[in-house]
Amino acid sequence: MTALDKLKDDHKLIRRYLDNLFLAHNFLVEREEVPASVFDKTLEFSKKFMNKYHHYREEYVLFLKLAEKKGGTIDPQIVSLRDQHERSRDLVSQIKEALKGYKSGDEVATSRLAENVGYYVSLERQHVNRENHVFYPMAAEAFSAAEMGEFDAEFEKIEQKQGPDAFKNGVDLVESIEADMKAKFGAVYRDAYEELVKNRGHKE
Ligand SMILES: [Fe+2]
Ligand SMILES: [Fe+2]
């Protein structure tokens, strides 16, 4: 599996995570009580999988090499993608802050949590689409097979450093979020989830 394939696989898992958060957001807006564990796991997934694993490999391997290769012509695009990573982290900090009040039943904190989860999902979805449809294809075109091979080696190094289970741990967390949502909302959650996947259709 090439480095780009690995990043695309990360995106599939990230989309599944975002779908769950989108549903959690809708339940919050309807003033349904979403288990706080869903958001605790959101914080964990965001930190361990998104930042330390996925964004790290994008920023320190793909973005860097592509910027070098393109000799500055795509710097504004890279700055903008990095900026989205940073805004995503800021929104997660807001979610973390609001979660404290949510856990004690604070009404303002609940609204703030719903609001920030909504912003976060919408930013991340847009970001992942942009990478899948614009940025990754540009990288696929810019590099030769040999250069792509160098990425693979860089990724291996990072994976060794972060432990071989980084991806699997991410999958486990998303499954655990899904289990919490199912346990709380049952068929309503399952139907809404199926509807979401069905409606997205070809856009993946
Ligand atoms: Fe990214
Ligand atoms: Fe990405």
What's the pLDDT band for 204 if we cut at 50, 70, 90?
A: low
CATH number for the domain running over 3-203: 1.20.120.520
Return the pLDDT at 162. 84
Q: In this structure, how many other beta carbons lie within 10 angstroms of the beta carbon of residue 140?
A: 11
pLDDT at residue 201 tops 80: no
Distance separating alpha carbons of residues 92 and 47, to the nearest angstrom: 9
Cα atoms in the Cβ-side hemisphere of radius 13 Å centred on 50: 27
Q: State the distance from the centre of ligand 2 to the C-alpha of 172, rounded, in angstroms.
A: 19
Q: State the distance from the centre of ligand 2 to the C-alpha of 22, rounded, in angstroms.
A: 18
Average pLDDT over residues 106-129: 98
Q: State the distance from the centre of ligand 1 to the C-alpha of 109, rounded, in angstroms.
A: 28
Specify the higher pLDDT residue, 68 or 46. 46
